[in-house]
């Protein structure tokens, strides 16, 4: 999955979970904020200053907002109010209790967890992975032989080769880590039940 797509799904997951809190009339943190902390009340949903700060971060992520703080906040508040009203209308129709909805939320929740896990692992691997000059020179010589010597100079190609080797090492380490998870994982596949399933096409 592309990184940008995964990021969009992650933030959508957080937005959906935050919106679901309106069922109980509490903010995203699970408790009803005090009146003096409120920014807005939308039906039985109450949004505190802290909730609004987090919502505006998610809503404004990757967007160009007005430079003027008052205008930017007013724009985002209008969007939040509209979204909460739409969510409450959907809840009145009972869509939040449908199995398809819960499965969709579960998928977003999993994507959010995966994003955090892979970001952590990539940071670990990037910090511990090294590509030596000898490896770069060896790869350059191999490329020169493959291309019959018709390639750019070592100085020109070295940075690109180093990045390529670095990425390959990261991918190899990531593949090994995931394979290790599979080997150590407590997984039982019930083949008889699996055989009964017919995929829709």
DSSP string across the chain: --HHHHHHHHHHHHHHHHHHGGGTT--TTSSPPPGGGEEEEETTEEEEHHHHHHHHHHHHTT----SSHHHHHHHHHHHHHHHHHHHHHHHHTTGGGSHHHHHHHHHHHHHHHHHHHHHHHHHHHHHH----HHHHHHHHHHHHHHTTT-S--HHHHHHHHHHHHHHHHHHHHHHHHHHHHHHHS-----HHHHHH-----
Range with the lowest mean pLDDT among 63-67, 73-77, 176-180?
63-67
- Break the chain into its structural domains and give their ranges: 3-97, 129-187
Q: What is the mean pLDDT of residues 182-194?
A: 90
Lowest mean pLDDT, pick from 39-48, 60-69, 117-126: 60-69
Is the per-residue pLDDT at 106 higher than 70? yes
Q: Which residue did the predictor score with more confidence, 163 or 6?
A: 163
Residue 85 has pLDDT above 60, yes or no: yes
Q: Could you tell me the pLDDT band of residue 142, with boundaries at 50, 70 and 90?
A: very high
**Average pLDDT, integer, range 122-135:** 96
Mean pLDDT of the region 63-90: 86
Question: If you average pLDDT over residues 63-88, what whole number do you get?
Answer: 86
Average pLDDT over residues 120-146: 95
pLDDT tens-digit series, residues 3-62: 444 444 444 554 455 544 444 445 545 566 677 789 889 988 888 888 888 877 776 666
pLDDT of residue 21: 47
pLDDT, residue 32, reads: 67
How high does pLDDT run on average in the chain? 83
Answer whether residue 197 shows pLDDT above 80.
yes
């Amino acid at each position: 999955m592309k990184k940008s797509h995964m990021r969009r799904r992650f933030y959508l997951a957080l937005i959906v979970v935050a919106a679901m809190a309106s069922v109980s009339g509490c903010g995203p943190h699970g408790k009803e904020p005090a009146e003096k902390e409120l920014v807005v009340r939308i039906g039985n949903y109450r949004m505190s200053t802290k909730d609004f700060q987090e919502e505006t971060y998610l809503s404004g992520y990757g967007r160009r907002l007005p430079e003027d703080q008052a205008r930017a906040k007013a724009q985002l508040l209008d969007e939040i109010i509209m979204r909460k009203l739409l969510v409450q209308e959907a809840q009145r129709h009972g869509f939040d209790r449908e199995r398809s909805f819960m499965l969709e939320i579960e998928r977003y929740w999993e994507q959010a967890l995966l994003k955090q896990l892979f970001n952590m692992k990539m940071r670990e691997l990037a910090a511990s992975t090294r590509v030596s000059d000898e490896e770069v020179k060896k790869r350059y010589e191999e490329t020169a032989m493959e291309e019959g010597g018709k390639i750019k100079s070592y100085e020109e190609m070295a940075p690109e080769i180093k990045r390529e080797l670095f990425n390959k090492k990261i991918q190899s380490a990531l593949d090994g880590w995931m394979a290790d998870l599979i080997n150590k994982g407590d997984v039982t596949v019930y083949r008889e039940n699996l055989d009964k399933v017919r995929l829709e096409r």
